[in-house]
C-alpha cells in the first residue's frame, strides 16, 4: 500500500494520521500521532469462524517504556510483562466503545491492538488510541458499523477544556471521557470532585459535540481510501426453529420471569427448568434430524433472545419488571458496620441479592504503593481500593487468583468514586486500603463496593468528608430506537438483557464517579440528563440507609489500628536522624517497634501499635534532632579540655564549648583547676551561632546568662 497521510487539528493540537509505512499484515493498520504522542493500531480478523455462541473480540492496549524514554525500574526484569492497571483500563475504554458497533452474529475472531510508540508526557495516548482503533477498523475489510470517536473533558475555573494535559487534569474539577457515534453517546468514564448532575451532563454534552469533528475526519479518510468489506458467514437464526422455541417457551418464561416472591436462586431455577423442558421437547421433535446438536445449540441462543424480547416488551409496554418493582424503585436495602472483629473497620452492604463486605486497613505512610508505568514516573499512592469477585458470588465454580480485567475495572471505578471523600495526608497521614469482597452478586456489585467502603471508612474512624453511595441504572429501547424506559437498580435479566449499564456514584452534594456501557448504538444527551436525575434520587435513598447505620465517622480509630504522630524537624537534621548507613533510624525502629517515615521537607511520621512505643520513639527522635537554644539547661560530660576552655557533650553527638571565663564567677587560671575529662557538669546554653551551629555554654548560674 502506498504511504498516505492526513492532518487535522483537534482540541488545539495537531492530529496526524499515516497509512502504509508501518505494518501491513493486519487487516487494518494506521499510525496516529497527537502532539508527539504516537500510537500504532492494528486490527486483525481470522479467516475462519469459531464455534462459539458469542462475538469473539479482543482489545489490547500495549504500553512500551521506550515510548517515554524509560527503562523499566525492576533490577531483574527489564522487558514489559503483564499490563499495568492503567493499561488495562485504557484497553477496556476502547473495547467498550467499539464493541457495540460490531454485528453480534460475527463468529470470526477479531483483535485490536493499540501499541504506544511514543509518549510526549503531555497528551494521554488513550484518546488517540480510541480514535485509531475506529479508523483502523473503518479502513480495513472487517465489517464495522463506525466510525466512533471520543474526547476527554476537564474544567478549570469554570472553563471547559478538551483533551487537557496531565497538569491540567490534576487541577481540573472532573475528568470525563465521552465517546460515541455521529448521533449517539455509547461510552462514558468519569471521575469528579463532587459536581452536580447538571454540570456533569453539560460536560458530557460538550464532549459529544466536540468529538463530532473526529467522526467527520474519519469519514473523509474512509471516502478517500474506499476500503472493501468482507462478506462474512454470520450466525443466523432458523426462523422455523425460532417459531418453535417461542411457541413452546413464551408462556412458561412469562411465568418464570414474573413469579412473585422468588429469590435469585429460585428465579434462575425456574428459567433453567423451562430451558430443560424446551431441550427435551426439541430432542423428541428433531430426533430424526442429522443436525440435532446444531439445532439444540441454536435453540439455546434463541431461548436467550426470547427472554430479551419478553423483558423489553413488558417494561416498554406496561412498566412491568421481573421482580415487580416500579421503574425507579430500589431493591430492599440494609447495612451494618463492625461485622468482623479485630479489623480496622468493616462495612456490610446489601441491595437485594447483591452483597459487598468491605474491609479497611490503615498503615504507616511508608506502606504507600509505588506506581511505575510508561506514563507515570515512580510515584506513591496512599489510597487504594481493591475489588474481589469470587465465582461463588454468582453460584459458580471457578478459578481463584489475581484480579482479571473486570476486577481491575470495577475496583478502579469504586476507587475513583471514593477518592474525593478521603481526607488529605496533612489531616490524616495514613496509608488507606479498602478491599471489597463480593459475597453475592445480582447486579451492580461495583456500586455496592462504594457503599460498603463508605461504611468501613466511617466504622474505622477515618474522617471522610461525607459518605458516598452508588447505583446502577438501566435502559430498555424499542427496536426502532425511539421509545425507551430508564430503570433504577438493575438486576438479573434487566442487567443481562438491558441496553445500557450506567453506574453513578456520589455524595449528597454531587457526583464523584460515573461509567456507562451500552449494547445499542448509544443514547442521547437528553437520556443522560434524565438517567442522572433518576440516579440521584436513588443515591439519596441509599445514603439515608447508610447514615441510619452510622451517621458519621467514629471519634476514635479502631484499637487494632496503629497510631500515627507527625513531628517536624529541620531538614538539615534528616541526615543526622538517618545516621550513617541508616544506623540511627534503624536503631530507633528496633528499640521501639515503631515505623518511621521521613519526607524531604522535614516531616517525620511515626507509626506505632502501642502508646509506649510511640512515646519512646518520639523522645529518641527529639533527642537526636534537638536543636539547643539560648537558656536551655543540660547535665553534660566533659569530652575535651583546651587551654581556652572545655568541650562538654550535652546530648549524644552534640557538644558545646565552655570558655574558661564562663566556668565560675571568679577568675580561673587553668581549666584543669576546675574540670577533668569525663566529669559531669551542669551547663546552660549561652548562645548558638546561626551560621555554623556552634554552641557556647556557661557554667555560671542561669540568671547570669544574657
What percent of the chain shows pLDDT beyond 70?
98
Q: Are residues 598 and 644 in the same domain?
A: no
Q: Are residues 436 and 480 in the same domain?
A: yes
The three state secondary structure string of 420-443 is: HHCCCCCCCCCEEEEEEEEEECCC
Q: Are residues 618 and 642 in the same domain?
A: no
Q: Are residues 169 and 296 in the same domain?
A: no
Residue 325 lies in a domain: no
CA distance 587 to 315: 69
Residue-level pLDDT at 644: 92
Query: Can you list the alpha helix ranges (DSSP code H) found in 172-227?
Result: 197-210, 212-225
Q: Are residues 106 and 213 in the same domain?
A: yes
Residue-level pLDDT at 654: 79
Side-chain-facing half-sphere of 123: CA atoms under 13 Å: 26
Q: Prior bond to 500 cis, omega within 30? A: no
Q: Calculate the dihedral angle through the C-alpha atoms of 156, 161, 167, 170, rounding to the nearest 10 degrees.
A: 50
Q: Prior bond to 147 cis, omega within 30? A: yes
Residue-level pLDDT at 378: 66
Q: Are residues 51 and 31 in the same domain?
A: yes
Residue 130 lies in a domain: yes
Give the CATH number of the domain where residue 298 resides: 1.10.10
CA distance 518 to 97: 9
CA distance 9 to 162: 12
Give the CATH number of the domain where residue 680 resides: 2.40.50.140
Residue 120 labeled ligand binder: no
CA angle, residues 93, 62, 179, in degrees to nearest 5: 20
Q: Which among 317, 361, 316 is positioned nearest to 340, based on CA atoms?
A: 361
Give the CATH number of the domain where residue 110 resides: 3.30.230.70
**What's the chain's length in residues?**
706
Contacts of residue 377, Cβ cutoff 8 Å, sequence gap at least 6: none
CA distance 131 to 147: 9
Instruction: Give the residues of the chain that fall short of pLDDT 50.
Output: 703-706
Contacts of residue 98, Cβ cutoff 8 Å, sequence gap at least 6: 59, 112, 133, 134, 137, 144, 146, 148
Q: Are residues 543 and 405 in the same domain?
A: yes
Residue-level pLDDT at 401: 77
Q: Are residues 586 and 645 in the same domain?
A: no
Estimate the crossing angle of helix 197-210 against helix 525-549, to 10 degrees.
Answer: 150
Which of residues 225, 252, 273 is at a domain's end?
225
Residue 293 labeled ligand binder: no
pTM for the model: 0.88
Q: Are residues 543 and 413 in the same domain?
A: yes
Residue 326 lies in a domain: no
Q: Are residues 161 and 309 in the same domain?
A: no
Q: Which among 467, 387, 430, 384 is positioned nearest to 558, based on CA atoms?
A: 430
In this predicted model, what pLDDT tens digit does every residue of 504-525 receive, in sequence order? 999 999 999 999 999 999 999 9
In 494-544, the DSSP E strands lie at: 500-506, 511-518
Residue 511 lies in a domain: yes
Sign of the CA dihedral 355, 361, 365, 366?
negative
Number of domains in the chain: 5
Q: Are residues 462 and 528 in the same domain?
A: yes
| Cβ–Cβ < 8 Å for 103, 227 | no
CA distance 515 to 320: 26
Q: Are residues 382 and 415 in the same domain?
A: yes
- Structural domain of residue 696, as residue ranges? 633-704
Residue 18 lies in a domain: yes
Residue 30 lies in a domain: yes
Which of residues 606, 625, 644 is at a domain's end?
625
Residue 554 lies in a domain: no
Residue 234 lies in a domain: no
Give the CATH number of the domain where residue 576 resides: 3.30.1370.10
Which of residues 225, 247, 270 is at a domain's end?
225
Amino acid at each position: 500500500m502506498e504511504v498516505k497521510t492526513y492532518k487535522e487539528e483537534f482540541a488545539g493540537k495537531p492530529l496526524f494520521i499515516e497509512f502504509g509505512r508501518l505494518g501491513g499484515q493486519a487487516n487494518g493498520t494506521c499510525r496516529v500521532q497527537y502532539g508527539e504522542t504516537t500510537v500504532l493500531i492494528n486490527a486483525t480478523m481470522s479467516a475462519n469462524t469459531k464455534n462459539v455462541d458469542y462475538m469473539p473480540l479482543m482489545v489490547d492496549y500495549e504500553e512500551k517504556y521506550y515510548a517515554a524514554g524509560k527503562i523499566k525500574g525492576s533490577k531483574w526484569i527489564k522487558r514489559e510483562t503483564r499490563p499495568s492497571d492503567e493499561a488495562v483500563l485504557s484497553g477496556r475504554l476502547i473495547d467498550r466503545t467499539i464493541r457495540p458497533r460490531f454485528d453480534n452474529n460475527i463468529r470470526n475472531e477479531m483483535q485490536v491492538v493499540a501499541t504506544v510508540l511514543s509518549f510526549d508526557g503531555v497528551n494521554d495516548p488513550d484518546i488517540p488510541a480510541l480514535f485509531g482503533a475506529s479508523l483502523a477498523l473503518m479502513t480495513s475489510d472487517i465489517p464495522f458499523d463506525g466510525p466512533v470517536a471520543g474526547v476527554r473533558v476537564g474544567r478549570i475555573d469554570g472553563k471547559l477544556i478538551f483533551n487537557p494535559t496531565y497538569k491540567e487534569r490534576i487541577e481540573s474539577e472532573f475528568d470525563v471521557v465521552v465517546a460515541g457515534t455521529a448521533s449517539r453517546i455509547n461510552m462514558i468514564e468519569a471521575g469528579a470532585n463532587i459536581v452536580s448532575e447538571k454540570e456533569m451532563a453539560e460536560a458530557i454534552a460538550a464532549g459529544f459535540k466536540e468529538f463530532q469533528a473526529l467522526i467527520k475526519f474519519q469519514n473523509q479518510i474512509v471516502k478517500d481510501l474506499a476500503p472493501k468489506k468482507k462478506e462474512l458467514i454470520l450466525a443466523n437464526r432458523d426462523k422455523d426453529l425460532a417459531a418453535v422455541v417461542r411457541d413452546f417457551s413464551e408462556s412458561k418464561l412469562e411465568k418464570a420471569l414474573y413469579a412473585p416472591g422468588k429469590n435469585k436462586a429460585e428465579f434462575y431455577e425456574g428459567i433453567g427448568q423451562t430451558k430443560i423442558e424446551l431441550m427435551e421437547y426439541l430432542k423428541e421433535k428433531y430426533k430424526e434430524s442429522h443436525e440435532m446438536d446444531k439445532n439444540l445449540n441454536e435453540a439455546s441462543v434463541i431461548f436467550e433472545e426470547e427472554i430479551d424480547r419478553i423483558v423489553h416488551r413488558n417494561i416498554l409496554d406496561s412498566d412491568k419488571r421481573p421482580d415487580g418493582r416500579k421503574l425507579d424503585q430500589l431493591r430492599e436495602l440494609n447495612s451494618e458496620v463492625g461485622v468482623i472483629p479485630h479489623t480496622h473497620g468493616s462495612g456490610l452492604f446489601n441491595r437485594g441479592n447483591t452483597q459487598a463486605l468491605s474491609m479497611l486497613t490503615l498503615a504507616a505512610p511508608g506502606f504507600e504503593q509505588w506506581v511505575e508505568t510508561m506514563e507515570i514516573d515512580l510515584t506513591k499512592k496512599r489510597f487504594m481500593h481493591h475489588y474481589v469477585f469470587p465465582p461463588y458470588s454468582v453460584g459458580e465454580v471457578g478459578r481463584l487468583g489475581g484480579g482479571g480485567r473486570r476486577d481491575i475495572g470495577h475496583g478502579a471505578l469504586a476507587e475513583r468514586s471514593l477518592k474525593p471523600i478521603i481526607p488529605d495526608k496533612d489531616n490524616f497521614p495514613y496509608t488507606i486500603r479498602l478491599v471489597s469482597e463480593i459475597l453475592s452478586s445480582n447486579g451492580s456489585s461495583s456500586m455496592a463496593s462504594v457503599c460498603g467502603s463508605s461504611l468501613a471508612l466511617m466504622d474505622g474512624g477515618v474522617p471522610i468528608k461525607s459518605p458516598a453511595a452508588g447505583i446502577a441504572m438501566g435502559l430498555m429501547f424499542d427496536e426502532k430506537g425511539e421509545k425507551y424506559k430508564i430503570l433504577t437498580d438493575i438486576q438479573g435479566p434487566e442487567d443481562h438483557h438491558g441496553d445500557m449499564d450506567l453506574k453513578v456514584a456520589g455524595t449528597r452534594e454531587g457526583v464523584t464517579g460515573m461509567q456507562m456501557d451500552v449494547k445499542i448504538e448509544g443514547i442521547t444527551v437528553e437520556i443522560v440528563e434524565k438517567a442522572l436525575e433518576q440516579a440521584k434520587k436513588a443515591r439519596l435513598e441509599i445514603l439515608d440507609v447508610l447514615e441510619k447505620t452510622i451517621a458519621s465517622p467514629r471519634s476514635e480509630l479502631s484499637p487494632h489500628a496503629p497510631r500515627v504522630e507527625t513531628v517536624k524537624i529541620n531538614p538539615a537534621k534528616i541526615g543526622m536522624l538517618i545516621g550513617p548507613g541508616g544506623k540511627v533510624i534503624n536503631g530507633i525502629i528496633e528499640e521501639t517497634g515503631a515505623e518511621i517515615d521521613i519526607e524531604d521537607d522535614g516531616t517525620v511520621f511515626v507509626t506505632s501499635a502501642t502508646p509506649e512505643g510511640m512515646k519512646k520513639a518520639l523522645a529518641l527522635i527529639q533527642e537526636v534532632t534537638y536543636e539547643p537554644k539560648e537558656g536551655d539547661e543540660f547535665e553534660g560530660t566533659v569530652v575535651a579540655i583546651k587551654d581556652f576552655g572545655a568541650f562538654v557533650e550535652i546530648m549524644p553527638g552534640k557538644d558545646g564549648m565552655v570558655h574558661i571565663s564562663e566556668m565560675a564567677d571568679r577568675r580561673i587560671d587553668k581549666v584543669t583547676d576546675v574540670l577533668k575529662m569525663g566529669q559531669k557538669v551542669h551547663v546552660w546554653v549561652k548562645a548558638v551561632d546561626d551560621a555554623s551551629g556552634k554552641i557556647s555554654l556557661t557554667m555560671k548560674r542561669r540568671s547570669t546568662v544574657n
